[in-house]
Amino acid sequence: MADKRVMRSPRNPFAIAQRQFDEAAAILGLDEATREILRWPMREFHFLIPVRMDDGSVRVFKGFRVQYNDARGPAKGGIRFHPEETIDTVRALAAWMTWKTAVMDLPLGGGKGGVVCNPKELSPTELERLSRGYIRQVARFIGANIDVPAPDVYTTPQIMAWMMDEYDIIKGHWEPGVITGKPVELGGSRGRIDATARGGIYTVREAAKVLEIDLRGQPAAIQGYGNAGSFAHKLAVEILGMKVVAVSDSRGGIYDPDGLDYYQLIEHKRRTGSVAGFPDTTPISNEDLLELPVTVLFPAALENIITEENAPRIKARIIAELANGPTTPDADVILHQRGVFVIPDFLCNAGGVTVSYFEQVQDAMNYYWKEEEVHQRLDEKMTKAFHDVYQMSQEARVHNRLAAYLVAVSRVVQAMKLRGWV
């Protein structure tokens, strides 16, 4: 049973997720029972994971798994290893995953998991024991047709391999489709590593078409230079012909109006651990990067970084949300009034879950596609989803995030009605 106590801070991610849903529910005229089902997780699990450390001591880690809604299919969502993980963050991300799979029209529901830990402080063997311990706690509640975890913050294909192996040991048979984001050698999909960024780039391309913007040579800025942000740099140049003039990570940011070379920068970050200090660039703060006069801004790191305080100073024509929840509801209204075209997170960053779904399909067939086929199928799904949302925004005269909610929520509600739940 879901614990319905939730912090009411305006920046609490689950409070934001509920507020966003409530706005869509009001427009759709949903009845009280339907709203109640969709405002809360259908089920969630809290558990403790004892782990034998390398020094012989035992540490106990707190873990979560939330299955938000499975009316359209098995729950789907990543597992996060983070020292500041909270149940409300996991709930919010599970809700957004429900809307994400629905807006992409995938036959899946939404879920999410997390462990309160700092993986940077764990040795490889301790990390493996923690990963296997997580699966021992949730093995009864997951499966290829029940709930399919994937990598997320500070989890990797190697961690997914350990988790899949532990599940196989417990169940006594090979079931690769229980986990996605695995190494290709263990049933992973080609094209998964850059899928989140690639899907976002496809939506930016489509946004530029409807806005009649020629992106070639136009400046872009990327806040957050992890997997999604760094690949967004590479693909914005290769696919869109843009120049990336500023990037940042947790240790600092850099700016060069002439554009940053992806390959040189990624090598610099590999050597130093940060983009900061890249030669012949000007240091820039994360806050100032968000307000640069660029054509496309990619928030690719944290929640709640575009707020009612800085939204009036945003100069980007397009905001492509590769991060989850980077824009607060009040900022959404301001940006819409100012004519900033926001591609909302659960559309823009849906490339990852879409290729994860492709991985499930390939695992079920025991037949695997070439990378070019994955890219083509992803392009088709992202393009259709973008235009579904854009058409809804025009018909309902609402901003894009609310339009995405209207598309997604209506699809989940239809599945619930057909099942006889409401």
Sign of CA dihedral 97, 11, 407, 342: negative
pLDDT at residue 91, rounded to an integer: 97
Q: What would the mean pLDDT of 219-227 be, rounded to a whole number?
A: 95
pLDDT at residue 82, rounded to an integer: 95
On whether residue 311 sits in a domain, the answer given is yes
**What band does 133 get if pLDDT is binned at 50, 70 and 90?**
very high
Contact status, residue 113 vs residue 80, Cβ threshold 8 Å: yes
Question: Among 353, 97, 319, which Cα is nearest to 203's?
Answer: 319
Q: What would the mean pLDDT of 58-68 be, rounded to a whole number?
A: 98
126, 155, 186 - which closes a domain: 186
**What band does 7 get if pLDDT is binned at 50, 70 and 90?**
very low
pLDDT at residue 199, rounded to an integer: 98
Tally of domains in the chain: 2
Residue range(s) defining the domain that contains residue 57: 45-186
Q: What is the DSSP string of 135-194?
A: HHHHGGG-BTTTEEEEE-TT--HHHHHHHHHHHHHHHTS--GGGS-S--GGGTPPTT-TT
pLDDT at residue 189, rounded to an integer: 97
156, 186, 216 - which closes a domain: 186
- Do 213 and 163 sit in the same domain of this protein? no
- Do 229 and 175 sit in the same domain of this protein? no
Which of 112, 182, 269, 381 is an active site residue? 112
Question: Among 323, 306, 328, which Cα is nearest to 9's?
Answer: 328
On whether residue 145 sits in a domain, the answer given is yes
Q: What would the mean pLDDT of 322-348 be, rounded to a whole number?
A: 94
On whether residue 260 sits in a domain, the answer given is yes
- Do 111 and 89 sit in the same domain of this protein? yes
269 is catalytic: no
pLDDT at residue 273, rounded to an integer: 93
Residue 394 has pLDDT above 60, yes or no: yes
- Do 77 and 109 sit in the same domain of this protein? yes
- Do 224 and 278 sit in the same domain of this protein? yes
Amino acid at 113: G
CATH number of 145's domain: 3.40.50.10860
Question: Among 327, 347, 340, which Cα is nearest to 387's?
Answer: 347
- Do 158 and 274 sit in the same domain of this protein? no
CATH number of 217's domain: 3.40.50.720
**What band does 303 get if pLDDT is binned at 50, 70 and 90?**
confident
**What band does 250 get if pLDDT is binned at 50, 70 and 90?**
confident
Q: 291-301, pLDDT tens digit by residue?
A: 999 999 999 98
* Token pair for 54: 């390398």
- Do 262 and 320 sit in the same domain of this protein? yes
Q: 156-188, pLDDT tens digit by residue?
A: 999 999 999 999 999 999 999 999 999 999 999
**What band does 1 get if pLDDT is binned at 50, 70 and 90?**
very low
Q: Quote the CA–CA distance of 401 and 323 in Å, as a whole number.
A: 14
On whether residue 30 sits in a domain, the answer given is no
Q: What is the DSSP string of 331-384?
A: HHHHHHHTT-EEE-HHHHTTHHHHHHHHHHHHHHHT----HHHHHHHHHHHHHH
pLDDT at residue 264, rounded to an integer: 97
- Do 200 and 315 sit in the same domain of this protein? yes
- Do 138 and 255 sit in the same domain of this protein? no
On whether residue 332 sits in a domain, the answer given is yes
Q: What would the mean pLDDT of 366-371 be, rounded to a whole number?
A: 97
On whether residue 229 sits in a domain, the answer given is yes
- Do 108 and 229 sit in the same domain of this protein? no
Mean pLDDT of the chain: 95
pLDDT at residue 5, rounded to an integer: 44
On whether residue 38 sits in a domain, the answer given is no
Residue 304 has pLDDT above 90, yes or no: no
302, 327, 348 - which closes a domain: 348
Contact status, residue 144 vs residue 120, Cβ threshold 8 Å: no
Residue 10 has pLDDT above 60, yes or no: no
Sign of CA dihedral 335, 341, 347, 351: negative
pLDDT at residue 324, rounded to an integer: 87
- Do 315 and 336 sit in the same domain of this protein? yes
Residue 413 has pLDDT above 70, yes or no: yes
pLDDT at residue 3, rounded to an integer: 46
Q: Which helix (H) or strand (E) holds 97?
A: helix 87-103
**What band does 422 get if pLDDT is binned at 50, 70 and 90?**
very high
Q: 89-121, pLDDT tens digit by residue?
A: 999 999 999 999 999 999 999 999 999 999 999
On whether residue 18 sits in a domain, the answer given is no
- Do 162 and 305 sit in the same domain of this protein? no
